[in-house]
Structure 1
């Protein structure tokens, strides 16, 4: 067990000044002791009142990682002790669990992280990777990752760059024609940004023609690698519909045998190419809203 930030606080019995301290040592607990009582650890920490200079000795007790603090010379003084427990990554399994639960905030990082998790999952999936239902599940996951990325990337660019936001409003009819009372604009200087972002979040990002129009209106270039890339992914959205709404059957009730391992791999490749193209084509805009690392 490891511990991070720790803080101790009490009031001076002479002048009632609050005495606060951080960063002091904590006692350990002897897990190998024959009895619980024998394992209890203690640590004496000396403090001085910053106002009247009265000195105190606080004894901190560790009873199986439960900490208590007391001033035995003046037991009526109430000592507040707070200790933050840190995750223990000595166990490789716990550390891997932590990595799997971690979700990056940046759209490209989140997409790449999801790819890594899927790759890790595939190494453990074994026989189920041959099941048609597994292919459909994986296919839908890739499509969901694409839709989330397309939405999040555009929202961040429109939200963070005023010229991009203005171009989108000027060039996209559904936004250009919206009207708001002057009192609403005067009451909230961020109203236009909020309404624009809200509009973008409400769109369906598997409707790829609409997505293409949104990106071109805001950024002046298509997000797709080329027409072949767009055509393939548009056809994939049809299969997405059949998998979501008809459990992998088309409108005639015929099972989509084409959604197999090779097809799913190609879907992943085409979506990854789309994401990489967006990161390249709009590189300047993306870098302008990313925080500068100070080292």
Structure 2
């Protein structure tokens, strides 16, 4: 299991001028050497990626007992609002993960069960807990489909694997010696698997870049759909991290039965389009 020490930031992207909301890694304090809460300080280099246009910004973060300040190095005038630093939920150990034969069928089963539960037990109250739970499940199912589908396609065909190795900036940094490759013939595939497994698949801008790079499939193809998807992902963050409240601690009432169902069908259109496009791989 692994966890990341991070803060959640909001800012207006200097590149695309869109409102951006995303997680940013924070250097961990020296927990063992601290005698008081005021000693739990850390600072260092980090990176901030816009979830809308996928632009990557070098940044510097100062963490003082959990309160964070994040500055974009090349855009110091950009105001970045940062939450208290925290550990992310534990991530699964993917070393023994077995890819499903048909990610679409697993997504479909989740979709149908969640919708049936919403239909039977859902409420017109936009702040209802059950509605939020169903909504969050739909987002989780979408993330799982996107991740499993991409990884399965990349590992099944050397062409998308090669495109990803050549076009992804993080993978392009990897260096292996001939001895390492000889000792582990599956080294490259294993490294790509670990890299793709570590992606946060609710970061749709990043997912779009990966799909376009490896599979030549545009995830965020329709502008109207794109905006609705980004809004839904922000709502998902408010459900998971703020118990259905926004940044100002105001209770969100958007999660009506109709909105949850409408968003679920938006996800369905996206999943069906991707599944059709990825079928040749």
TM-score interval, normalised by the smaller of the two chains: 0.5 to 0.7
- Which residue is 2:133 aligned to? 137
- Report the Cα offset of residue 223 of structure 1: 2.0
Aligned mates of 2:238, 2:195 — CA distance in 1: 27
Q: Is contact 2:153-2:278 (8 Å) kept?
A: no
Render the CA deviation track for 1:129-177: whole Å, top value 9, x for unaligned: 4451111111100000010000000010011111110111111111112
Q: Work out whether 1:186 is the aligned partner of 2:191.
A: no
- Which residue is 2:19 aligned to? none
Aligned mates of 2:265, 2:146 — CA distance in 1: 16
Aligned mates of 2:233, 2:111 — CA distance in 1: 19
Which structure is richer in relative contact order (CA contacts within 8 A, separation 6 or more)?
Answer: 2
Aligned mates of 1:171, 1:222 — CA distance in 2: 15
- Which residue is 1:260 aligned to? 256
Q: Work out whether 1:218 is the aligned partner of 2:220.
A: no
Aligned mates of 1:270, 1:117 — CA distance in 2: 16
Q: Is contact 2:219-2:270 (8 Å) kept?
A: yes
- Report the Cα offset of residue 118 of structure 1: 2.2
Q: Work out whether 1:195 is the aligned partner of 2:191.
A: yes
Q: Work out whether 1:271 is the aligned partner of 2:237.
A: no
Q: Relative to structure 2, which stretch is displaced further, 210-219 or 174-183?
A: 174-183
Q: Is contact 2:208-2:219 (8 Å) kept?
A: yes
- Which residue is 2:154 aligned to? 158
Aligned mates of 1:259, 1:178 — CA distance in 2: 43
- Report the Cα offset of residue 235 of structure 1: 1.3
- Report the Cα offset of residue 262 of structure 1: 1.5
TM-score by length of 2: 0.61
- Which residue is 1:233 aligned to? 229
Unaligned 5+ runs, structure 2: 1-99
Select the structure of larger CA radius of gyration: 1
- Report the aligned-residue RMSD: 1.6
Q: Is contact 1:158-1:165 (8 Å) kept?
A: yes
- Report the Cα offset of residue 124 of structure 1: 4.7
Render the CA deviation track for 1:229-283: whole Å, top value 9, x for unaligned: 2221111111111111110000111111112111111110111011011012223
Q: Is contact 2:143-2:202 (8 Å) kept?
A: yes
Q: Is contact 2:123-2:256 (8 Å) kept?
A: no
TM-score by length of 1: 0.58
